[in-house]
Structure 1
Amino acid sequence: MTTLSQLATLRRSAAIQGRVIYALLMREILTRYGRHNIGFLWLFVEPMLFTTGVTILWTLSKSVHGSSLPIVAFALTGYSSVLLWRNMPSRCIGAIEPNLALMYHRNVKAIDVFLARLILEAGGATISFVTLSLFYIYIGWLEPPEDVLTVVGGWLLLAWFGGSLAMLLGALAEKSELVERLWHPASYITFPLSGAAFMVSALPNSVQKYALYIPMVNGVEIVREGYFGNKIHAYYDLPYLVGCCIALTLLALAQVAVVNREITPE
């Protein structure tokens, strides 16, 4: 087979895969949000309400976060980042069972179901973050980001981490119900450790290096560095975060392949 024919085959496969994921994405939107009330707008309105609520609570309680940043800016960058990666596993755990009937179609695989849900979740969190940022900038509660590309880079790394973790847990949950039972308390326990409510620079020097062993902390620090620039001193280990994402991705793909072979369509 020539290189040109191989590329043509690859393009056709990619086009088919894209149509499958798009169809699953539309199905997921209609199933989850329906056509009534504001429908799919809940995709980003819901995380906006969560983030705004946390921002108001932190402002009223005059929370101390260990930096000179306004509490609104601190809450937006922190809690939006948490919503990005933490909600993804919840959507992937138990995602296969309601879609078993679709597995009769040879082009529909387990990874397509996961990817559709991940795109939907990441899209909602991203729209929420961008919309609230623009709104807060407009009313004067927030300054424009110092480096938009750094913000985007940190955000994409957090999405990569959340997506790979979600696919891994989603695949493992098909083998054991224990995964779902453990993830719910674990997701709440990891919130105070994720870097959303503190900055590494505010921690004692002896603790800082241990905080950076938590992958999400590095991502949040990158987002905040892009947002606030020289106003803060961000600590992060980019190679470590990328390494964790690669390792999680490889493990996730391996487990998804195993699950895909074991699926019995209803």
Structure 2
Amino acid sequence: MIQALVPQHHPMRRWPSWRTITALIFREMSTSYGKSPGGFIWTILEPVGGIALLTVIFSLAVRVPPMGSSFALFYATGLLPFLMFLDISKKVAQALQFSKQLLFYPGVTFVDAIFARFFLACMVHALVFVIVLSGILWYDNVELIVNIPLVVLAFLMSAGLALGVGCANCFLMRRFPIWANVWAIVTRPLFLISCIFIPYDSMPESFRDILWFNPLVHIVGTNRTGFYSTYRAEYVEPIYVALVAALLFGVGLALLTKWHRDLAQR
């Protein structure tokens, strides 16, 4: 009799439910993309068009890329994982705010909300990766052998780091609203110190010792290794990126587990 009165979805459940996550993904696609012209398609074309425009502008200023013969390819292989990290970490950080009303239902937890936004953003950026890089290879008539496992590894590294940073920021931005402004200031130099324009190996040796601790440098290096067979990024340590991502995710998840009820009411 007592067991029959216990709800199937206990409010203290921590492990994500795939059924709930799928429902949240479709909800976000409907609310975020259903109202914009072109819907979900425009969500894919918007970053593709932005990257293409920036690539054309910079390729006109810099004729000879540091690697290969196509500046567009060199630029995109560094910019894509960087933008992916920024976008996914931002979406994960806003998970509590976006699904605030749904968190009061016993079948939905903050973990579901985080993973729903994470998986949807990963799917979007996977399509952007394929469209942009395939388009560049076709347009510039670049002949190369792409190391798919390394490209996938770079994608997973970027996604994992974004999940860790986003989870930590999800707590910090709700607990301390000023952190959103601080984070925006802190991340501005990342565009210049993530080796998007200048390869890590071309940096001054004294500067390299500091840059090595930027996980994005390892991600960009891994991605470029997948496209340039002669490039040996010996400085890359995927394990370092995984440890940073896991540490941030663990800390963020622990803090959210303790404070998510109070944060959801803000």
Q: Deviations over 1:192-251 (max 9, x none)?
A: 112222211111223223211101100110111111121x23231233222212212211
Is the CA contact (8 Å cut-off) linking 2:200 and 2:208 kept in structure 1? yes
1:193 aligns with 2:193: yes
Q: List runs of 5+ in structure 2 lacking aligned partners.
A: 1-12
Aligned-pair distance for 1:63?
6.6
Amino acid at match of 1:86: L
Amino acid at match of 2:232: H
Query: 1:142-195 CA deviation, whole Å, 9 max, x = no partner?
Result: 334431101111111111001111111012111010121122222322111122
Match of 1:225 in 2: 225
- Tell me the residue number matched to 2:40: 40
Q: Does 1:168 align with 2:168?
A: yes
Letter in structure 2 aligned against 1:159: A
C-alpha spacing 1:176/1:141, structure 2 compared with 1 (3 Å): farther
TM-score, structure 1 as length reference = 0.86
- Counterparts in 2 of 1:44 and 1:144: CA distance versus 1, 3 Å: farther
Contact 1:147 1:227 in 2 (8 A): yes
Letter in 2 for 1:183: W
CA RMSD of aligned residues (A): 2.4
Query: SS of the counterpart of 1:213?
Result: coil
Consecutive unaligned residues of structure 1, counting only runs of 5 or more, are 1-12
Report what 1:157 is aligned to.
157
Look up the equivalent residue of 2:115 and give its one-letter code. L
Structure 2 counterpart of 1:252, one-letter code: G
- Give 1:68 deviation, angstroms: 4.5
1:65/1:247 Cα in 2 relative to 1: closer, same or farther (>3 Å)? Answer: farther
Instruction: Determine what percentage of the aligned residue pairs are the same residue.
Output: 21
Q: How does 1:130-141 map to 2 (within 5 A)?
A: 130-141=130-141
Contact 1:95 1:114 in 2 (8 A): yes
Counterpart of 1:120 in structure 2 is 120
**Most deviating of 238-247 and 13-22:** 13-22
The code of the aligned residue for 1:156 comes to: L
Bigger mean CA deviation after superposition, 41-50 or 152-161: 41-50
The within-5 A match list for 1:1-266 is 17-35=17-35, 37-62=37-62, 66-230=66-230, 232-234=231-233, 235-263=235-263
Instruction: Determine if contact 2:144/2:227 at 8 Å carries over to the other structure.
Output: yes
Segment of structure 1 superposing worse, 205-214 or 48-57: 205-214
Confirm or deny: 8 A CA contact 2:77 2:223 kept in the other structure.
Answer: yes
Q: Aligned partner of 1:40: which letter?
A: F
Partner AA of 2:75 in structure 1: A
Structure 1 residue 123 displacement after superposition: 1.7
Q: Is the 8 A contact 1:103 1:265 kept in 2?
A: no
> CA separation of 1:146/1:176 partners in 2, compared to 1, >3 Å: closer, same or farther?
same
Look up the equivalent residue of 2:74 and give its one-letter code.
Answer: F
Q: Which stretch of structure 1 is more off in the superposition, 26-35 or 15-24?
A: 15-24
